[in-house]
Amino acid sequence: MLNKSEDNPPSVEVRQRLTDAILRLPDRERLVFTLYYYQELTKAEVGLLLGETGSSVSQLHASALMHLEAWLSD
């Protein structure tokens, strides 16, 4: 059985809205988001790469998710 997301891939419009929202993120939040979700690094790996503590990476990640949720819920 296929994963539901594979059965119904997001529309071009949805993908464009997500891309636009990601590009609106502050630089550090966008970098953390991209490294975590697109490069599939762990938060610890992101922290080592950026010279940030684990808690700092977690805060940036949480802030990015809050921004994206607010922008995409409009």
Q: Please list, in sequence order, all residues whose beta carbon lies within 8 angstroms of the beta carbon of residue 47, skipping any fewer than 6 positions away.
A: 53, 54, 56, 57
Within a 13 Å sphere around the CA of 44, how many CA atoms are in the beta-carbon half? 0
In 3D space, the residue among 24, 58, 8 whose CA is nearest the CA of residue 46 turns out to be: 58
Residue 54 inside a domain? The answer is: yes
Q: Please tell me the predicted confidence (pLDDT) of residue 5.
A: 55
H/E segment holding residue 34: none
pTM, 2 dp: 0.81
In a domain, 11, yes or no: no
Least confident stretch, 7-11, 13-17, 35-39, 67-71 = 7-11
Q: How many domains does the chain have?
A: 1
The pLDDT value recorded for residue 1 is 33
CATH code of residue 64:
1.10.10
Q: What residue numbers bound the domain in which 64 lies?
A: 26-74
pLDDT in tens, 12-57: 998 999 999 999 999 999 999 999 999 999 999 999 999 999 999 9
Tell me whether residue 21 is in a domain: no
How many helices and strands (H and E) does the chain possess? Answer: 5, 0
* Domain-located, residue 9: no
